[in-house]
């Protein structure tokens, strides 16, 4: 555009020169022939005397001088007038071009919204300025559309939970999304220019650096790393190669998804499947042994002996019933079909039903159950069947982890807006580092007795059930040793109701 307007200036200069030359040539082409024609007519006449001839010669000379003076003066006046007119005309033509040139230079320097003047005359300049204005408007629309597209793409990348990073051939970070910041613990301004291996540390000294473990383009691989805070993570990494528009070399883009929980859940499920067979096999073996003994020695056993034989079978059946109840509740929770049906319930009735189910276990381990008398008159809006299962799971846990012969205590504290129920044992206690994951699925502590197994679903069912009631659960250390598992339920003054 600048070259175009420079060409316009050169054209204007040439035009002025041409107009002036044309005016001078026109004046000379008219004046000179008249001058020569007049002098030729005088010189061609015949004179009667020498005096007349001399007089005529003097007249011709004077005429030539006056004619030349007139010709020069006239030509000069015409030339001056022509130059003045040409200058005025050219100025009228070059001024708009100068203004358009100045605007073109501003736009070329990045001022894309510089105002472009519109001209009505001359026609050529008017057409040019109109085209220039339309070109600027089209350029601004295109830039705005590209800006919107770029902003949308950037917001899209920054909003996804998965992390997105790019790095160059040197392995240095060139882009880090918000999701990647959350995964790595690094801010984008800190990570740019850093090596990828610095952001994703290997979990141990024997593991290869991160760059040596990334997948090939278009494939996915799970990679174990340590984040900035030293926390172990399992990342599902998908790779791609691309060339950015502002770079000449190809870069690598990685999409990162944190699958640490999914991997832990997969391992826990494997653990669960390994133990569930034992959970079924042990009580079934006990039942089988008891029934075989009854069949073989039915006539030889007294009533008291038969009761002793049936006690293990009864405990096995209760254990199977509790196991199946937890499995069913866990499945309904996972499927989204878990329903709480509240009604006004007498708390001692719920405690009594739970104790009925766990009493054989307490008897076998010689553990005394000590309920709080404060619960005798309490009524609360709960799902009695679900709350019974909660108490059964907590009592079974307390019995399993408490030493033989140690009592298990149930305490009830009524507050203005909630009811707190706690079960205290004398077990080994719960380390603070394990309490965060204690109420998750398939998580269980190691029992003192190596023969004790579990599915890791009991406390998960407790937490889900209490939270479905609008309450909360927790565990504290018991003074003198052991643990206190507690849950709180909101006290509602509403009439009978059902929550689904």
| pLDDT for 344 | 92
Domains 161-258 and 279-490 share a fold: no
CATH number of 279-490: 3.30.565.10
Are β-strands 173-176 and 163-167 bridged in parallel, bridged antiparallel, or unpaired? antiparallel
Q: Nearest 5°: phi and psi at 19?
A: -65, -45
Neighbour-count burial for 219-254, b at 16+ CB within 10 Å, e otherwise: eeeebbbebbeeeebbbbbbbeeeeeeeeeeebbbb
Give the span between the Cα atoms of 181 and 240, in whole angstroms.
Answer: 20
Q: pLDDT 10s digit of each residue in the chain, 500 long?
A: 445 444 444 545 555 565 556 555 655 555 556 556 555 555 555 555 556 656 666 766 776 676 667 767 766 776 677 667 767 766 666 777 788 888 888 888 888 888 888 877 777 778 888 888 888 888 888 888 887 777 776 666 666 778 888 898 888 998 888 888 888 888 888 989 999 898 898 888 888 899 889 888 888 888 999 888 888 889 999 988 877 666 667 888 898 988 888 887 787 677 667 666 666 766 777 777 777 777 777 777 777 777 777 777 777 777 777 777 777 777 777 777 778 889 999 999 999 988 988 888 888 889 999 998 888 889 999 999 889 989 988 998 899 889 999 999 999 998 888 999 999 999 988 888 788 778 877 666 554 444 444 566 788 889 999 999 999 999 999 998 999 999 999 987 544 334 44
Token pair for 364: 């076998």
| Residue found by looking up tokens 């042994």 in the block | 289
Question: What are the domain boundaries of the chain?
Answer: 2-124, 161-258, 279-490
Select from 195, 153, 151, 160 the least CA-distant residue to 180: 160
Are β-strands 472-477 and 483-490 bridged in parallel, bridged antiparallel, or unpaired? antiparallel
Count each helix (H run) and each strand (E run) in the chain, helices first: 12, 12
- Does the pTM exceed 0.75? no
Give the span between the Cα atoms of 211 and 57, in whole angstroms.
Answer: 112
| Residue found by looking up tokens 């919107």 in the block | 148
Give the span between the Cα atoms of 298 and 498, in whole angstroms.
Answer: 50
CATH of 161-258, one of 3.30.450.20, 3.20.20.210, 3.20.20.80, 1.10.3720.10: 3.30.450.20
Q: Nearest 5°: phi and psi at 417?
A: -120, 0
Residue 213 exposed, middle or buried by CB count within 10 Å (0-12, 13-18, 19+) = middle
Residue 111, CA atoms < 13 Å, CB-side half-sphere:
8
| pLDDT for 37 | 58
Give the span between the Cα atoms of 297 and 289, in whole angstroms.
Answer: 12
Give the Cβ contact number of residue 6 at 10 Å: 12
**Helix-strand-coil percent breakdown of the chain, rounded to 5?**
55, 15, 30
Chain centroid offset of residue 461 CA: 33
The helix or strand, by DSSP H or E, that contains position 392, with its residue range, turns out to be helix 384-401
Chain centroid offset of residue 232 CA: 22
Token pair for 360: 């054989």
The CA distances from residue 265 to 227, 430, 466, in Å, are: 20, 21, 22
Select from 494, 463, 464, 500 the least CA-distant residue to 381: 494
Token pair for 491: 């006290």
| DSSP characters over 114-151 | PPPP---SSHHHHHHHHHHHHHHHHHHHHHHHHHHHHH
Bridge partners (DSSP) of residue 238 are 220, 255
Give the span between the Cα atoms of 112 and 100, in whole angstroms.
Answer: 14
Residue 300 is classified by DSSP as T
């Amino acid at each position: 555009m600048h070259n175009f307007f420079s060409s316009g200036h050169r054209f204007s200069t040439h035009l002025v020169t041409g107009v002036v030359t044309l005016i001078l040539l026109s004046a000379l082409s008219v004046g000179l022939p008249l001058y020569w024609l007049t002098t030729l007519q005088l010189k061609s006449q015949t004179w009667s005397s020498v005096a007349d001839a001399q007089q005529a010669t003097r007249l011709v000379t004077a005429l030539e001088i006056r004619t030349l003076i007139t010709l020069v003066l006239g030509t000069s006046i015409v030339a001056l007038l022509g130059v003045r007119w040409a200058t005025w005309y050219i100025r009228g033509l070059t001024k708009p071009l100068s203004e358009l040139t100045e605007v073109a230079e501003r736009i070329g320097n990045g001022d894309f919204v510089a105002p472009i003047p519109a001209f009505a005359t001359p026609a050529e300049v008017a057409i040019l300025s109109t085209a220039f204005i339309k070109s600027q408007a089209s350029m601004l629309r295109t830039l705005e559309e590209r800006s919107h597209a770029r902003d949308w793409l950037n917001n899209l990348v920054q909003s996804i939970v998965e992390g997105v990073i790019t790095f160059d051939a040197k392995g240095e970070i060139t882009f880090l999304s918000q999701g990647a910041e959350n995964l790595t613990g690094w801010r984008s301004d800190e990570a740019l220019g850093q090596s990828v291996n610095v952001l994703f540390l290997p979990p141990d000294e024997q593991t290869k650096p991160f760059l040596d473990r990334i997948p090939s383009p278009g494939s996915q691989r799970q990679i174990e790393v340590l984040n900035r805070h030293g926390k172990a993570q399992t990342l599902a990494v998908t790779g791609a190669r691309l060339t950015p528009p502002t770079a000449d070399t190809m870069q690598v883009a990685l999409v990162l998804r944190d699958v640490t929980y999914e991997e832990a859940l997969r391992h826990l499920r494997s653990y669960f499947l390994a133990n569930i067979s034992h959970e079924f096999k042990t009580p079934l073996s006990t039942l089988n042994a008891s029934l075989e003994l009854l069949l073989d020695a039915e006539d030889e056993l007294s009533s008291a002996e038969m009761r002793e034989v049936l006690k293990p079978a009864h405990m096995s059946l209760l254990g199977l019933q509790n196991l199946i109840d937890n499995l069913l509740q866990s499945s309904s929770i996972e499927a989204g079909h878990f329903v709480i049906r509240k009604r006004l319930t007498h708390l001692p009735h719920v405690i009594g039903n739970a104790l009925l189910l766990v009493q054989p276990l307490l008897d076998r381990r010689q553990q005394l159950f000590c309920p709080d008398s404060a619960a005798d008159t309490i009524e609360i809006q709960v799902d009695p069947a679900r709350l019974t299962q909660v108490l059964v799971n907590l009592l079974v846990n307390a019995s399993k982890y408490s030493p033989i012969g140690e009592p298990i205590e149930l305490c009830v504290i009524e507050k203005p807006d909630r009811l707190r129920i706690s079960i205290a044992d004398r077990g080994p206690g719960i380390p603070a580092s394990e309490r965060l994951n204690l109420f998750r699925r398939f998580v269980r502590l190691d029992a003192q007795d190596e023969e004790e197994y579990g599915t890791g679903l009991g406390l998960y069912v407790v937490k889900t059930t209490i939270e479905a009631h609008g309450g909360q659960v927790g565990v504290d250390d018991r003074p003198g040793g052991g643990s206190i598992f507690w849950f709180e339920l909101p006290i509602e003054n509403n009439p009978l109701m059902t929550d689904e």
